[in-house]
């Protein structure tokens, strides 16, 4: 861990406990800060709360008292990424010009290892995992952190100069960065997402673009040439720019040619040898190859991963086959674009399981991708909206059920051999399930009960 005296005797407020808050509080305490933790929902008897109190950290639960900033003379706030800036305590800290960061910033400040940072509206976890696996096969000593795996500032504490940290980042995390400067940074894609948090698409693009903001000429910005918003985000970058494209031959980057993937004029692998399903995953592969080639990973290591890696759990994950019906779990598809990409991956009759939290949007953008959908099984708050677009798309078999488990059984009943049964909800899970992972696990369990 890189030594820093920045936090000695500094008064720091950590808002939101969870995994990232606990890790940040413990790290700050280790760095010599006077730490106060504030969490609205935590119980005073929770193990995490008791653990912090035991080492002398003040923990305030059940409320976000506005007096806390003055009472403890707070110099800096570390907030949980999910807490919006509209939170009254956060707003007050802003008014007082108190710096507000996320724990990702702490990770950067103490990391001895170079950081590869990955963000995007879709494909972050798959790309992060691909990069990690390629580096691992080539003995580059990678560590994985961020939205996937372990909290970034925990990983950074154990990282050395011989490691490289592969870090998946959300717009929420990036918005709370100030000096964060990854050695290699990439935005995979940008589309309308999390507007309930950011307010406008421009604010969302700004948050994503912070991944490039502090990079210098000794760093590399990997850029999706096919995405106008990504290109716009990278315009002011001072880093070396490396483009990837699935539509144009970027001779100084990563691209497709003759049904193969190429990097700077060198053929890497044939598309037919990549086992990861879906056209959208081609872009993830291009981005991953761009990053690892910069670190000298061999083509044989890249090929070994791409000929065996068949997806991340809950992200177009092949669950199994029952009586010649193939089941895929794409519970991570929490928006229309993700579901559109999942549907494009299949060219056989498909039964789509969809629905979830109603964020106010309609689903008309999904219509062009329903051509191979023979039936839709719908659940959650958005079921009526999805039923409308199913009817307008001429889908004859439309079923409404109470939950994902029922959806699996209903889909199986209306299916025939060679059908694909796809959970790709196009919605967040929070109307019925705590996380998309819980939703996906229930789907998997229900499929296994069919055997």
Start-to-end Cα distance in the chain? 49
Q: Write the burial class of residue 236 (CB in 10 Å: 0-12 exposed, 13-18 middle, 19+ buried).
A: exposed
Query: Residue 124 annotated as binding?
Result: yes
Task: Count the Cβ atoms, other than its own, within 10 Å of residue 86.
Answer: 9
Cβ distance 196 to 216 under 8 Å?
no
**Closest of 173, 238, 190 to residue 212, by C-alpha:** 238
Query: Residue 189 annotated as binding?
Result: no
Query: Residue 120 annotated as binding?
Result: yes
What residues have CB less than 8 Å from 381, skipping those under 6 apart?
Answer: 355, 356, 357, 358, 427, 431
Q: What residues form DSSP beta bridges with 143?
A: 165
The residue length of the chain stands at 451
d(CA 114, CA 165): 6
CA 121 to mean position of chain CA atoms: 7
Query: Residue 121 annotated as binding?
Result: yes
**CB burial string 185-195: b at 16+ within 10 A, e below:** bbbbbbbbbbe
Query: Residue 123 annotated as binding?
Result: yes
Query: Residue 122 annotated as binding?
Result: yes
Query: Residue 200 annotated as binding?
Result: no
Output the known binding site for ATP.
120-126
Output the known binding site.
120-126
């Amino acid at each position: 861990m890189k030594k820093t005296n920045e936090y000695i005797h500094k008064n720091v407020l950590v808002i939101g406990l969870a995994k990232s808050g606990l890790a940040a509080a413990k790290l700050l305490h280790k760095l010599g800060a006077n730490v106060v933790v504030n969490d609205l929902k935590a119980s005073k008897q929770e193990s995490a709360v008791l653990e912090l109190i035991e080492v002398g950290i003040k923990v305030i639960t059940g409320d976000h008292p506005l007096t806390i900033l003055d009472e403890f003379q707070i110099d800096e706030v570390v907030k949980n990424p999910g807490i919006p800036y509209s939170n009254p305590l956060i707003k007050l800290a802003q008014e007082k010009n108190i710096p507000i960061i996320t724990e990702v910033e702490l990770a950067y400040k103490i990391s001895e290892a170079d950081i590869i940072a990955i963000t995007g509206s879709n494909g972050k976890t798959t790309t992060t995992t691909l990069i990690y696996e390629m580096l691992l096969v080539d003995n580059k000593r990678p560590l994985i952190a961020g939205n996937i795996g372990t909290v970034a500032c925990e990983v950074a504490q154990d990282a050395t100069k011989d490691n490289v940290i592969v870090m998946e980042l959300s717009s929420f995390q990036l918005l709370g960065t100030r000096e964060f400067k990854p050695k290699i940074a990439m935005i995979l894609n940008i589309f309308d997402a999390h507007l309930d948090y950011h307010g406008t698409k421009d604010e969302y693009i700004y948050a994503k673009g912070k991944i490039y903001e502090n990079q210098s000429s000794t760093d590399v910005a990997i850029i999706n040439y096919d995405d106008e918003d990504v290109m716009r985000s990278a315009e002011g970058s001072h880093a070396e720019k490396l483009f990837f494209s699935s539509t144009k031959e970027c001779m100084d980057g990563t691209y497709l040619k003759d049904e193969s993937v190429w990097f700077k004029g060198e053929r890497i692998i044939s598309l037919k040898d990549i086992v990861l399903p879906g056209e959208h995953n081609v872009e993830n592969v291009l981005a991953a190859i761009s990053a690892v080639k910069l670190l000298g990973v061999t083509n044989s290591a890249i090929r070994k991963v791409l000929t065996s890696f068949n997806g991340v759990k809950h992200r177009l994950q092949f669950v199994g086959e029952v009586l010649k019906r193939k089941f895929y779990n794409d519970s991570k598809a929490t928006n229309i674009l993700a579901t559109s990409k999942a549907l494009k991956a299949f060219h056989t009759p498909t039964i789509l399981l969809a629905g979830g939290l109603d964020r106010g949007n309609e689903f008309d953008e999904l219509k062009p991708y329903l051509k191979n959908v023979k039936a839709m099984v719908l659940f959650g708050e958005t079921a009526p909206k999805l039923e409308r677009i199913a009817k307008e798309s001429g889908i004859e078999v439309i079923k409404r059920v109470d939950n994902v488990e029922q959806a699996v059984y209903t889909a199986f009943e209306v299916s025939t051999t060679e059908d694909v049964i796809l959970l790709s909800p196009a919605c967040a899970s929070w109307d019925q399930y705590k996380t998309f992972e819980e939703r996906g696990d229930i789907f998997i369990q229900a499929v296994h009960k069919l055997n």
